[in-house]
């Protein structure tokens, strides 16, 4: 029966039906597990099928038997070397092919395979010298969380990039420079969150643009905080999808969220706060710019949210 399966396998191999031939040789081996010719034949079908790992295992299994004749041993070691070569394991490939040459030193197939090892090893090393630094750089960027920053063409510099106004004077008590027309952000303490300027009204569009937000975050008022806090988080997801978020936005949102939470911690306010935090943490460049967020604002936020819940803990951890 084993012999019949082997003959059918040979016929299918000649027809190019390598999967069928492989199955027939495999069935034959179950009946005659010490028939090394079957291992050799099956290894050849696996080379045709480009199943390199399986081919290596079959060759190694066949070489365990001492009853193999010289020709079969040579074929098994040659086919083992070919499989190793196609896995870029040049050392084991060369070793297997050289051991095959012991049985027939002028065998053209083996000599050609050895030549292929030298050529492909050289090509492989060249590819590493060219592509290796690029691959390593890409890997490091991924591990460090470095993201590609988009570049935008504008007609004029945003206000954030302009030089500050000239200082008018120094505060006598704090010796701090006070700038003309520049508002000071409230401190990140619950008792200091209510902005001093509660009468100033801003033109607030129903659907803001990045330009509008850039103006709004310069004003620390009840009106401005409430406006940015109550907007649908999906709106911010769309606005910041182009990678235009920065630490100024993040710090202002932290101020607004802390301010609203200090006034009310009902379920609706907490859920809105969590929705905003989650949306902002998903924005492109968030991991890059969050390192410039004021840690005291995050500490305050943590004290106001129900951080005993795992999902809240996980969300706040993204801001650290």
pLDDT reported for residue 132:
52
pLDDT reported for residue 201:
62
pLDDT reported for residue 221:
86
pLDDT reported for residue 187:
44
Q: Tell me the CATH class for 2-144.
A: mainly alpha
pLDDT reported for residue 179:
42
pLDDT reported for residue 137:
59
pLDDT one-digit tens code per residue, 232-276: 999 888 888 887 788 888 999 999 999 999 988 898 999 999 999
Q: Which residue stretches of the chain have pLDDT < 50?
A: 163-170, 175-191, 196-199
- Asked if 281 and 318 count as a contact pair (C-beta separation under 8 A), the reply is yes
pLDDT reported for residue 141:
60
Helices (H), the chain: 2-15, 18-31, 36-48, 52-62, 70-85, 90-101, 108-144, 210-216, 222-230, 233-239, 247-263, 267-281, 286-289, 295-304, 310-317
Any idea where the domains of the chain sit in the sequence?
A: 2-144, 159-317
- Asked if 259 and 194 count as a contact pair (C-beta separation under 8 A), the reply is yes
* Total-model pTM: 0.43
Distance of alpha carbon 148 from alpha carbon 256, whole angstroms? 28
The full length of the chain comes to 320
């Amino acid at each position: 029966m084993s012999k019949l399966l082997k003959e059918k396998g040979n016929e299918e191999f000649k027809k190019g039906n390598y999967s069928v031939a492989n199955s027939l040789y495999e069935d034959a081996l179950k009946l005659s597990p010490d028939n090394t010719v079957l291992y050799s034949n099956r290894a050849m079908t696996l080379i045709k099928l480009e199943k390199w790992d399986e081919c290596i295992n079959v060759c190694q299994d066949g070489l365990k038997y001492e009853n193999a004749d010289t020709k079969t041993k040579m074929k098994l070691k040659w086919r083992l070397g070919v499989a190793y070569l196609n896995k870029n394991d040049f050392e084991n490939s060369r070793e297997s092919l050289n051991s095959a040459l012991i049985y027939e030193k002028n065998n053209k197939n083996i000599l050609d395979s050895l030549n292929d090892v030298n050529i492909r090893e050289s090509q492989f090393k060249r590819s590493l010298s060219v592509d290796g630094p690029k691959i390593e750089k890409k890997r490091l960027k991924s591990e460090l969380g470095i993201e590609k920053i988009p570049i935008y063409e504008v007609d004029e510099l945003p206000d954030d990039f302009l030089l500050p106004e000239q200082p008018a004077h120094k505060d006598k008590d704090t010796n701090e420079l006070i700038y003309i027309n520049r508002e000071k952000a409230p401190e990140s303490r619950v008792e200091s969150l209510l902005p001093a300027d509660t009468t100033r009204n801003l033109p607030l569009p129903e659907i803001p643009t990045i330009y509008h937000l850039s103006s709004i975050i310069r004003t620390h008022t009840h009106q401005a905080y409430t406006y940015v806090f109550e907007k649908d988080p999906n709106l911010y997801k769309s606005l910041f999808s182009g990678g235009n978020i920065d630490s100024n936005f993040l710090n202002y949102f932290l101020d607004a969220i802390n301010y609203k939470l200090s006034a009310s911690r009902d379920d609706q306010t907490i859920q809105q706060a969590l929705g905003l935090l989650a949306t902002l943490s998903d924005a492109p460049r968030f991991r890059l710019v969050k390192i410039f967020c004021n840690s005291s604002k995050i500490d305050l936020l943590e004290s106001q949210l129900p951080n005993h819940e795992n999902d809240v803990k996980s969300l706040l951890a993204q801001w650290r």
